[in-house]
A = this chain, B = another copy of it.
Amino acid sequence: MKRRILLNIQYDGTNYAGWQRQENANSVQAEIENALLMAEKNHIPVIGASRTDSGVHASGQCAHFDTESRIPTDKYPFVFNSILPHDIRVISSQEVPENFHARFSAQAKKYIYRIDNSRHGSALKYRYCYHFPLPLDDTVMQSAAKLIKGEHDFTAFSATGGSHKTAIRNVYSLELKREGDLVTIIVVGNGFLYNMVRIIAGTLIWIGIKKLSNNDIILAFDTNDRRMLGPTAPAKGLELAKVFYADEWRNVHD
């Protein structure tokens, strides 16, 4: 009997060239597909919700695959984790309907961007934070975050090279928190253009050092001009934290 299985996956992206399988580079997808090949003696494609970039982490990536094996659905985490390297873990598995698709069924995604705002950088946060030593003014960053939140054409907030029919996206929430030297940006939206979260992070950082003002953000939305905004912040600070599907999303969003 054919089943479609949805996996919840975590990874430390440091040693991977991103989610997507590619020639001559380690990828998370290849590690997971190879583990499945070991377990089922069959090459089965595993489709991720988000094609995270090289160096980006995930605490809540989702991916689906189809199988005709006899492995019980709830045993898949044990099967995968006995084969996968320690920087990739399958946290849970569930059966989903055959028309479910990890990417196309996603209603929203949550990303976290972490900035180590200490003077000298932390040896223990190095893998998961972008170290930015200049003092960041959280208050002006909070105010700019409010402008970015909501439904907009995010063309100015995307790298060239993305493929999409429309650049209109809805950022449902964009929070900024500081705990000591750690500044965390938490963003939830119905979809994200290529590099969009990293450009939001880089822009908020430039706002925080007064190199940009709220007016530049308004201008960027008006002109769709990428050059109005801050740099693309480094991949290592970014983590895909959650993919929301229909049922769960209704609970959260209503």
Contacts and interface: CB of A to CB of B under 8 A. Distances in A.
A205 B126 CA distance: 29
How many interface residues does chain A have, given as a range? Answer: 20 to 34
A123 B77 contact: no
Nearest to A8: B120
B122 A10 contact: yes
A245 B185 CA distance: 36
B120 A128 contact: no
Contact of A10 (B10, B78, B124): B124
A145 to B, nearest CB: 25
Contacts of A10: 122-124
Given A77-B119, A119-B77, A12 B124 contact: yes
Interface of A: 10-12, 57, 59, 77-78, 81, 86-92, 118-124, 126-128, 239
A128 B122 CA distance: 14
Nearest to A126: B86
Given A77-B120, A81-B121, A120-B81, A126 B12 contact: yes
B11 A87 contact: no
What 4 A-B pairs come out closest when comparing CB atoms? A10-B123, A89-B123, A11-B123, A86-B126
Q: How many copies of the shown chain assemble into the complex?
A: 2
A68 B77 CA distance: 59
A18 to B, nearest CB: 15
A86 B119 contact: no
Contacts of A121: 81, 86, 89
Nearest to A59: B124
Contacts of A81: 120-121
A75 B2 CA distance: 65
A91 B122 CA distance: 8
Contact of A123 (B12, B78, B118, B119): B12
A70 B15 CA distance: 41
B91 A57 contact: no
Contacts of A91: 118-120
A77 to B, nearest CB: 5
